[in-house]
Amino acid sequence: MSKVTGLARFYYATGYSIKGIKAAFKHEPAFQYEVYGFLVLFPASFWVAQTATQWALLVSSCLLVLILELINSAIEAVVDRSGTEFNELAGRAKDLGSAAVMFGLLIIAAVWGGIIWDNGGLF
């Protein structure tokens, strides 16, 4: 069986991506909170940014957290699928995914704080 290529591949891949985003929103409360945060910060980015580069950094930092949360959720799903008994490596994998999200949130704070500082504050 040959793999789908070209525009058809892009079409199917987009469908799988949308399915993954819907699943994360339905089953992962942390992803929901981060989406709600994005829905607040995205419009705020137009007010805070004074240049296109600043706007791109503000929005990209928020998107990074969503990406990291999707990866963390994927790790957790695979670990949970592999069994319910305690396993040190499984716990470490979950903790590492969580740490990645935490660093992403720190990046948001640094980027937004730095840009707000450089622009002389909010008012």
Structure pTM? 0.90
User: 117 among the known binding-site residues?
Assistant: yes
Asked if residue 29 has pLDDT above 80, the reply is yes
Q: Which residue has the tokens 């991506």?
A: 17
The residues assigned a catalytic role are 69
How much is the pLDDT for 1? 66
* Full set of structural domains in the chain with CATH: 28-120 (1.10.287.3610)
Instruction: Give per-residue pLDDT as tens, 42-99.
Output: 999 999 999 999 999 999 999 999 999 999 999 999 998 877 788 899 999 999 999 9
**Cα dihedral 53/113/107/47 (nearest 10):** -50
Q: Which residue has the tokens 């600043």?
A: 54
Give residue 28's identity as a one-letter amino acid code: E
User: 32 among the known binding-site residues?
Assistant: yes
Asked if residue 27 has pLDDT above 70, the reply is yes
